[in-house]
């Protein structure tokens, strides 16, 4: 009995010792896991001298994750569309083979012309053929034009604001974001992998390598939807060190995106004749010439100014303003036409257009209270085409600054007032006074003959004070 009790006591001692060691190990691991962490607002690894908190890196990771998720979603969608197109092509080949076999057996095929095409691709192409993307349409008036809405990588400029929407905003709905991302990626695919029938030449980079465009080369785009046919997209891409633009037209006939055309546009030698009818408003003309000097003389440098002045009062001041600009900026590309008549805008535009005697030229009919940028001038060149397209920019009309900034002692400078906010103005989509068109098109319309121009209107271009 003593020996058996000694053995039991020894085993109990070793068991307790093992349990103590196990508890010590568990406690050690617990202390390692529960060690105090760095405060969320303390500095984390980053740029030397900067103090970034945990929230900054979490936001950065979330932004990258959303970007890659959007990219992955777009790629999955494209893969699904390619699979669908492959299946459709297989069905088309099988259908053609069946028709061939039926014809060989002497059985005729009769189709109903009133029914939609049985083949999906033929139907989609028929939608493109019927849309205004490829052919013009006769409209009862200018109000029958379907306007475009423009977009960039970050914002959409929308005409239909309603009570809750804003004149410019980031796409809130996920389907709209995915749509625009898909369109831009489809445009890049067309440019980087052109077909043989594309109207563009192979262009090499400065080191002889093939130019590859990416989403950062996307300049602007605009789209509109014909409710019974589909959505048209016009995309413009440009490398920072090149003057040529790549223009891609896509169409979604309520189905997969389909390419309409791809071309390269060189606007480096395109001159714009800005025609301004004017009477008395000399103070507004001073402000207009300040913007003209900054944008047209110092930046664009491919502009001719035609001022058609009505009456005698204020004419001498207008002449002195033009002479002052000439002496300061060495600018001589302007024409001043004086008419001793009552002001008539249409008459002024007609006289200004006919005053140009150097052949075909792109004209911009402009009022004296319009503020525009160098980017707008390029949009004017890109979206007007002789005998085919006339560009009607939709201007953003600012409210009276005395009312908008009534809470301030002095309204802010004009440059700070030029913002697209719901409280500062609205899109004047009912006005067609501003237009970019070629001289031959305008003279054809004025002369009363029929013209083939398509009203290719409308997106952010200029701001009316």
Q: Which domain holds residue 247?
A: 173-203+210-266
What average pLDDT is seen over the chain? 79
- Give domain status of residue 454, yes or no: yes
Residue 96 lies in a domain: no
For residue 82, the surrounding DSSP H or E stretch is helix 54-104
Do 343 and 426 share a domain, yes or no? yes
Residues 324 and 262 grouped into a single domain = no
Contacts of 50 (CB under 8 A, 6+ apart): 43
Q: Find the mean pLDDT for residues 192-201.
A: 71
- Domain assignment present for 18: no
Q: Are residues 423 and 297 in the same domain?
A: yes
Count the domains in the chain.
2
**Which residues are registered as beta bridge partners of 395?**
462
* Phi-psi group of 390: left, alpha or beta (phi > 0 → left; psi -120 to 50 → alpha; rest → beta): beta
Residue with the bigger pLDDT between 205 and 372: it is: 372
- Has residue 66 been placed in a domain? no
Cβ pair 411, 401 in contact under 8 A? yes
Choose the weakest-confidence range: 164-173, 279-288, 357-366: 164-173
Is residue 88 one of the residues assigned to a domain?
Answer: no
Give tens-digit pLDDT for 47-64: 444 556 777 778 888 888
Among residues 251, 266, 281, the one where a domain terminates is 266
Contact 168, 420 (CB under 8 A): yes
CATH code for position 380: 3.90.550.10
Question: What residues form DSSP beta bridges with 79?
Answer: none
Give which of 301, 461, 447, 449 is closest to 384, Cα–Cα: 461
Task: Provide the pLDDT for residue 102.
Answer: 46
> Which of 266, 284, 314 marks a domain boundary?
266
Please give the average per-residue pLDDT across 385-402, as a whole number: 88
- 63-113 pLDDT, tens per residue? 888 888 888 888 888 888 888 878 877 777 777 666 655 444 433 333 333
Where do we find the tokens 């080369």? 217
259 and 277 both lie in a single domain? no
pLDDT at 449: 35
In a domain, 164, yes or no: no
278 and 349 both lie in a single domain: yes
Could you give the CA distance from residue 336 to residue 304 in angstroms, rounded to a whole number? 11
The span from the CA of 182 to the CA of 179, in Å, is: 5
pTM above 0.85, yes or no: no
Per residue in 107-128, pLDDT (tens digit) is 333 333 344 445 777 777 777 7
Domain boundary among 266, 283, 303: 266
Report the percentage of the chain scoring pLDDT > 90.
36
Same domain (yes/no): 315, 277: yes
The distance from CA 329 to its chain's CA centroid, rounded to whole angstroms, is: 33
The reply to whether 433 falls in a domain is yes
Regarding whether 262 and 285 lie in a shared domain, the answer is no
User: Do 357 and 424 lie in a common domain?
Assistant: yes
Q: Check whether residue 260 and residue 295 sit in a common domain.
A: no
In this structure, the answer to whether residues 285 and 242 fall within a common structural domain is no
295 and 259 in a common domain: no
pLDDT of residue 165: 65
Does residue 250 share a domain with residue 221? yes
Is 144 inside any structural domain?
no
| Helical H segments across 293-389, by residue range | 315-329, 345-354, 374-383
């Amino acid at each position: 009995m003593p020996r058996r009790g000694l053995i039991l006591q020894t085993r109990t001692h070793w068991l307790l010792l093992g349990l103590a060691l196990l508890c010590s190990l568990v406690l050690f691991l617990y202390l390692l896991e529960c060690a105090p962490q760095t405060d969320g607002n303390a500095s984390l690894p980053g740029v030397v001298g900067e103090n970034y908190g945990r929230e900054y890196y979490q936001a950065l990771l979330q932004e990258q994750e959303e970007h890659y998720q959007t990219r992955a979603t777009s790629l999955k969608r494209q893969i699904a569309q390619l699979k669908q197109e492959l299946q459709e092509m297989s069905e088309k080949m099988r259908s053609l083979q069946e028709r061939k076999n039926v014809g060989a057996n002497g059985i005729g095929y009769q189709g109903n012309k009133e029914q939609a095409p049985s083949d999906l691709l033929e139907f989609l192409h028929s939608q493109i053929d019927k849309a205004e993307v490829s052919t013009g349409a006769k409209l009862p008036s200018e109000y029958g034009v379907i306007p475009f809405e423009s977009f960039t990588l970050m914002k959409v400029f929308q005409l239909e604001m309603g009570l809750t929407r804003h004149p410019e905003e980031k796409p809130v709905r996920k389907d709209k974001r995915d749509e625009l991302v898909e369109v831009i990626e489809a445009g890049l695919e067309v440019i980087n992998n052109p077909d043989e029938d594309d109207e563009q030449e192979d262009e090499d980079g400065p080191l002889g390598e093939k130019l590859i465009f990416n989403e950062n080369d996307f300049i602007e785009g605009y789209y509109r939807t014909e409710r019974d046919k589909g959505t048209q997209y016009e995309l413009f891409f440009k490398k920072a060190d090149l003057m040529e633009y790549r223009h891609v037209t896509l169409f979604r006939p309520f189905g997969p995106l389909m390419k309409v055309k791809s071309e390269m546009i060189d606007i480096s030698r395109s001159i714009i004749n800005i025609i301004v009818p004017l009477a008395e408003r000399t103070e507004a003309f001073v402000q207009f010439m300040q913007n003209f000097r900054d944008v047209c003389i110092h930046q664009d440098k491919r502009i001719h100014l035609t001022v058609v002045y009505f009456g005698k009062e204020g004419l001498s001041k207008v002449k002195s303003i033009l002479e002052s600009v000439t002496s300061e900026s060495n600018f001589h590309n302007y024409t001043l036409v004086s008419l001793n008549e009552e002001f008539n805008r249409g008459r002024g535009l007609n006289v200004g257009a006919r005053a140009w005697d150097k052949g075909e030229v792109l004209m911009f009919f402009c009022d004296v209270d319009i503020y525009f940028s160098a980017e707008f001038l390029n949009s004017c060149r890109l979206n007007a085409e002789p005998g085919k397209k006339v560009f009607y920019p939709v201007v953003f009309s600012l409210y009276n600054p005395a009312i908008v900034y009534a809470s301030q002692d002095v309204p802010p400078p004009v440059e700070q007032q030029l913002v697209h906010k719901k409280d500062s103005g609205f899109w004047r989509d009912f006005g067609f006074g501003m237009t970019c068109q070629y001289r031959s098109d305008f003279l054809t319309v004025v002369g009363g003959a029929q013209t083939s121009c398509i009203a290719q209107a409308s997106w952010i271009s200029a701001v009316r004070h």
